[in-house]
Amino acid sequence: MKQQYAYWIALAHIPSMKTARKNELIVRFFEEKQSIIDFFHCKKSDWQNLFSLNEKEIELLNGAKNELANYSFLVEDLLEQGYDIIPITSSDYSPVMKNNLKRAYSPPLIYTKGNKQIMKENSIAIVGSRKAENISLEFTDNIAKTASKDYKVVVSGFAKGVDKQALDSAIKYKGQSIIVLPQGITTFQSGFKKYYKQIIDGDVLILSTFFPKAPWSVQLAMARNPIIYGLAKEIYVAESSEKGGTWSGVVDGLRKGRNIFVRIPLSSEKNANTILIQKGAIPVDIQGHKIENYSLKEIKASVVNEQSSTFEDVDSKIIKLLSIGIFSSKEIIERLKIDWTTRKLTNHLKENKNIEVLNKKSPVKFTIKRKENIQQSLF
Amino acid sequence: MTRNEAEIKLKKIFGFDKFYDEQWEAIDMLLRGGRMLLIEKTGYGKSLCFQFPATQFDGIAVIFSPLIALMRDQVNSLNEKGIPAKHINSEQTHEENSQVIQDAINGKLKILYIAPERQENQEWIEATRKMNLSMIVIDEAHTISVWGHDFRPAFRRIINLVQLLPEKLPVLATTATATKRVQADIEQQISGNLTTIRGNLLRENFNLFVIETKSEDEKLLWLAENINKLPGTGLLYTGTRVNTEIYARWFDFVGINSTDYNAGLDGDTRKEIEKGLMNNKWKCVVSTNALGMGIDKPDIRFIIHTQIPASPIHYYQEIGRAGRDGQKTYIILFYNSKQDENGIAEDYKLPKAFIDGGRPGIKKYQKVINAVKQEQLGEKQLMKKTNMKQTQIRVIKADLIEQGIIKEVSKKYEYQFNAPELNAAKFDELRNAKLKDLDSMVDYVFTTEPRMKFLCEYLGDTLPSKFENCDNSRYKKRTVNPEKETIGKLIEFRGTYFPVLNVESTNSNIENGIASSYYGVSNVGTALHRCKYENGGDFPDFLLKLTLKAFRKTFGNKQLDLIVYVPPTSSGELVKKFAEKISYALKIPISHKLVKQRETQPQKVFQNAYLKRDNVSGAFNYTEPDEINNKSILLVDDIFDSGATIKEIGKLLTNFGAKIIVPLVIARTVGGDINFE
């Protein structure tokens, strides 16, 4: 089993191959009852026929294969330092994440240190701004307290503001936490020192999906956000503005029908919490209690005028359209009379997991992804 | 590649015509990306089995070897053949090692030798990410088995690495000494379709002798009279570092051309001695078993052990370094079978003590575990926290890592979540196995069978029919019958041999001092102990006489102005009175002005140098410092252990302007003689 780790690192960090494609390959060899080692050592013809790899992909895989021995040295060092390497096929892999992010976005490999079992527990994420108001921090503290009391794990991203409060509070109330790193796991030495006791007591799990030696970067911080949402069964929003990581994460989550609880803001607050509630998030008070008959009308006044065609409206129309055929952006704009440029729409559609990009050359054409492609066995 | 094609290349690159069948079998397998364990005797040509394929592969072959001397020899010989090879080890400067790493990354090398310890070095690990690796070789593979002799914890990481390597990457493990059990252990650890080739381990050119004695002196006597009669040059292995010194001084005394060597010497000195050995500079090099492994000298004509090794396999391995040229070679083992009041043979005690002392008590393990549970700790911090010796900490560390209880991350030890309980039964199992091995070694001493037959059977070798080359077969037994003159010389030697105190440093005017004796070697220690700890009164006169003798022999020509003695902690006025007697005898004035300005603990309470140093740091003062200025001072104490006290006082007196300080003590301890466990 251990011999597979170098192979997993090689596959997981192939540049310019989408996660969805990597997972597709994994699902394929998993179903063929092959190991990743078998897959790497397949004949070229098998790669072409069994796995439908194109020339470019074969080149990428060969590149990865050439680095296997080098990765073995890396793996040895990681294991020696007490890190766990968890491929998506492992029973240790977070079932919550697999369920939330599905094949398109579940990272094929995660690196952790600490109590892996935490990933099997009920979990919540408390998300919000790096520069949150005190009331948001108070809310965060309340939620973490309740969660800890209910044996729920608090997932956070180790950023300032709400993230940090969520972690501190979970520790304060003797709860359990997952810290999702915006960097490679070996570059977190100060954190390992700071949370040493919690880690060895099994109360904190450090988790990263990035190459182990990758330093912190803005890109990784952005890429880390979906992992936080992915690891949590429920999401509590302390404070969101109308853009940024919290916003896009919540909007995306709502689209997928996830349970998202948003703190009802005071009328004096200037944030986008209300908009999220309008979009279908569940309103909660400062204690995190659901407010059942919350009237949106009451808060209409405080909401800034919204544009009529939000992403969500557009998406649902487009998906309806694409389910009956193949269209380019231009055709979609004409048919649906959307007030967007073709370029904006093309970029937007490329990011939608439910939509498949058919040809890379202009004009790019889109259609809806076929459900039967998703393998129930692994995901 | 066919064998024919390969042999054409062999001729061109290495100058040999043919491979042995077993060599080709191994090489063929490696060329196909297989994994091999090759057990062949010393001198068989194991290195060629990885050197040849390495020249044929793209990229670089990494050879993990614990033997620096061997790396050096092989790199030189490869370079002579025009094969780009280098090594990385602790004898090179950081810059040199970095340059080698760069060359490896840039594809300039075919073969890279590296010590297993390097796997703990981040620069190396980083570099491995960028190299084009072609093959991994584990030389001296018996060291990866805890059942093998010389198990090295650093090799644990190499095993882990091998288990993680991708398929089709050739891996070769080689050893000249593996019992069937060790073989099975290596096979299991390396795993992944390993093929084993096991050759014949018999060494026909060895003449094996065992000389039974009734004292340590008899060994010295026999050697004085016989070593020059042995052909050629060779090695003499002693059980301890101190004995390398004593035997070498004795040989000097009786005019036998020798030098001493041990792992405590610095790299340059070691290299010099190894060079001298190659050039037959001495009749014999007196050494601990640190020397000789991996040295490519074909004509070591004799190997003598003054102590039994820990097992027949250790013994086979150590004597295996001799007679690679196939010429007649003398292999002699001493065994002092004199029994003490408990019926234990004197020479059984040292190897037994190594086994008993090899592992600290379970309480100490628990102490380390508890400390590491509280916070991440480095080795030095851990020594201070637990008051344990570095050697003990290292043994415990290696065991705890092995059992998955702690990990070492960036030089700090971390307790692991979900760590298992300490498995002490494992230690007992190992200890019992080691005792059994030791008993087998004693069996070798007393066996009446041919000795090579005994060794081959122990190794699990397949046996030919005839063994005629030992004192149980063709040759007569050797015994000790010394001349009177030799005995006289030994008595004289015993009265004039004094251990040196190494305390010199650049920021102090202190010089290396002298002790009248080792603490444990003679009756000196017993007498000291009685006076210090059993109210036995003043130090007896024979100690004074011996100490004065040591002084006169070493510092007799020195002009000294003042005697200063180390103020007591708990043993009252003993040292003061002793220093007064020395002052009276040497007619050098004595000063009582060196005082303690704060309480200290007896140094023996502390188990490591850090705590000893902290204990005495800033503890002393001299009440009238002007007296010291420009003076030459004799500094007197009773026992010299770590030297921390003497060094501390040396610094103080240097600061007050002392010209020189020479330490004189009654006894020097040997590796913690007086520590309380």
- Parallel, antiparallel or unpaired: strands B513-518 and B171-175: unpaired
Alpha carbon A255 to its chain's center: 14
> Which of the four pLDDT bands, split at 50, 70 and 90, describes residue B220?
very high
**Regarding the domain delimited by B206-347+444-492, which CATH topology (the fold level of the hierarchy) does it fall under?**
Rossmann fold (3.40.50)
Residues on chain A touching B163 (C-beta within 8 angstroms): 2-3
pLDDT for residue B521: 63
Of A258-272, A336-350, B190-204, B234-248, the poorest mean pLDDT is in A336-350
For the cut 90, the answer to whether the pLDDT of residue B669 exceeds it is no
**B498-668 CATH fold:** Rossmann fold (3.40.50)
CA B587 to chain centre: 43
Q: Is A363 left (phi over 0), alpha (psi -120 to 50) or beta?
A: beta
CA nearest neighbour of B232 among B140, B309, B304, B147 = B304
The Cα–Cα gap between B68 and B266 comes to 13
CB atoms A2 and B375 under 8 Å: no
pLDDT given at position B230: 96
Cβ-defined contact of A3 to B376 (cutoff 8 Å): no
Is CATH 1.10.10.10 the right assignment for the domain spanning B358-422? Answer: yes
Is residue B672 scored above 60 in pLDDT? no
pLDDT bin (cut points 50, 70, 90) of residue B520 is: low
Name the more confident of A311 and A267. Answer: A267
CA–CA min distance A239, chain B (Å): 34
Q: What architecture does CATH give domain A311-369?
A: Orthogonal Bundle (1.10)
Cα separation, B623 vs B172, in Å, equals 68
pLDDT tens-place string over residues A18-40: 999 999 999 999 998 999 999 99
Report how many helices (DSSP H) and strands (DSSP E) chain A contains, helices first: 18, 12
Confidence band of A208 (pLDDT split at 50, 70, 90): very high
Lowest mean pLDDT among A168-172, A178-182, B194-198, B670-674: B670-674
Mean local confidence (pLDDT), A338-364: 78
Q: Please check the confidence at residue A300 and state whether its pLDDT lies above 80.
A: no
The per-residue DSSP string of B386-450 comes to HT--HHHHHHHHHHHHHTTSEEEETTEEEE-TTPPPP-HHHHHHHHHHHHHHHHHHHHHHH--S-
Identify the weakest region by mean pLDDT among A9-13, A317-321, B637-641.
Answer: A317-321
Contact B124, B90 (CB under 8 A): no
Exposure class string for B118-127: b at 16+ Cβ within 10 A, else e: bbeeeebbeb
What amino acid occupies position A223?
A
Report whether pLDDT(B529) > 90: no
Using a CB-CB distance cutoff of 8 angstroms, which residues of chain B are in contact with residue A63? none
What are the structure tokens assigned to B449, written together? Answer: 């069978």
Q: What are B394's two structure tokens?
A: 């290292």
**Res. B673: pLDDT tops 70:** no
Q: Is A77 on the interface with B (CB under 8 A)?
A: yes
Note the pLDDT of residue B333: 97
Q: Are A234 and A150 in contact (CB under 8 A)?
A: no
Please name the residues in contact with A295: beta carbons below 8 A apart, sequence gap of 6 or more.
none
Give the three-state DSSP class for A107: coil
d(CA A139, CA B3): 76
Cβ-Cβ contacts under 8 Å for B194 (sequence gap 6 or more): B35, B36, B37, B187
Test A81 with B167 for CB contact under 8 angstroms.
no
With a cut of 90, say whether residue B31 has pLDDT above it: yes
First to last CA, chain B: 62
Strand runs (DSSP E) across chain A, as ranges?
84-87, 109-114, 123-128, 153-156, 177-180, 204-208, 234-239, 260-263, 282-284, 327-328, 355-359, 365-368
| For residues B75-90, average pLDDT | 94
What is the per-residue pLDDT for B148? 64
Q: A181-185, A348-352, B115-119, B199-203: which has the minimum mean pLDDT?
A: A348-352
Q: How far is CA B242 from the centre of its chain?
A: 11
In chain A, what residues touch B119 (CB-CB under 8 Å)?
A: 76
Residue of B133, B163, B416 with shortest CB distance to A69: B133
Q: State yes or no: pLDDT of B134 exceeds 80.
A: yes
Tell me what pLDDT residue B380 has: 92
Q: What whole-number distance in Å separates Cα of residue B460 and Cα of residue B452?
A: 12
pLDDT band at B607 (very low <50, low <70, confident <90, very high): confident
Best probe of the A interface among B62, B373, B417, B418, by most A CBs < 10 A, is: B417
Q: Does the structure show a pLDDT above 80 at B357?
A: no
Helix (H) or strand (E) holding B633: strand B632-640
Residue with tokens 């050096």: B72
pLDDT of the residue at B584: 94
Q: CATH topology of B358-422 equal to that of B498-668?
A: no
Exposure string of A66-84, with b = 16+ CB inside 10 Å and e = fewer, is: ebbbbbbbbbbbbbbbbbb
User: Which residues of chain A does B60 touch, with a Cβ-Cβ cutoff of 8 Å?
Assistant: none
Long-range CB pairs of B41-44, under 8 A, 24+ apart, other chains included: B41/B176, B41/B199, B41/B200, B41/B201, B41/B202, B41/B203, B41/B320, B42/B176, B42/B320, B42/B321, B42/B324, B43/B298, B43/B324, B43/B326, B44/B20, B44/B176, B44/B199
Spatial distance between the Cα atoms of B638 and B663, rounded to a whole number of angstroms: 10
pLDDT at A307: 44
Tokens found for residue B319: 């004597």
Q: Percent of chain B at pLDDT above 70?
A: 96
| Residue of A46, A50, A113, A111 whose CA lies nearest to A75 | A111
User: Residue B376 is nearest to which of A2, A71, A196, comparing CB atoms?
Assistant: A196
Which residues sit opposite B594 in a β-bridge?
B622
Contact assignment for A201 to B417 by CB distance below 8 Å: yes
- DSSP classification of residue B304: E
Q: How confident is the model at residue B666 (pLDDT cuts 50, 70, 90)?
A: very high
State the pLDDT at residue A303. 46
CA closest to A199 among chain B residues: B417
DSSP three-state, residue B239: coil
Q: Which residues contact A202 (CB under 8 A, 6 or more apart)?
A: A114, A115, A117, A118, A176, B417, B418
Check pLDDT > 70 for residue A305: no
Distance (Å) from the alpha carbon of A20 to chain B's nearest alpha carbon? 25
Contact B656, B629 (CB under 8 A): yes
Q: Tell me the domain boundaries of chain B.
A: 3-198, 206-347+444-492, 358-422, 498-668
Instruction: Give the tens place of pLDDT for each residue, B568-584.
Output: 876 678 999 999 999 99
Interface predicted TM-score of the whole assembly (ipTM), two decimals:
0.76
Chain B residue with the nearest C-alpha to that of A36: B166
pLDDT tens digits, residue range A230-266?
999 999 999 998 888 889 889 988 988 888 999 999 8
Sheet harboring A177-180: ordered strands across? A84-87, A109-114, A204-208, A177-180, A153-156, A123-128, A234-239, A260-263, A282-284
Interface list for A 23-62 with B (CB within 8 A): 37, 40-41
Chain A nearest-CA residue for B130: A70
- Written as one letter, the residue type at B163 is Q
B206 token code pair = 């060895």
Question: How far apart, in whole angstroms, are the C-alpha atoms of residue A203 and residue A201?
Answer: 6
For residues B36-44, give the mean pLDDT: 88
CATH classification of A116-300 is 3.40.50.450, yes or no?
yes
Q: What is the 3-state secondary structure (H, E, C) of A327-363?
A: EEHHHHHHHHCCCCCHHHHHHHHHCCCCEEEEECCCC
Instruction: Tally C-beta pairs within 8 A across A and B.
Output: 86
CATH of domain B3-198: 3.40.50.300
Distance CA B431, CA B132 (A): 42
Partners of B376 on chain A (C-beta within 8 Å) are 192-193, 196
pTM: 0.78
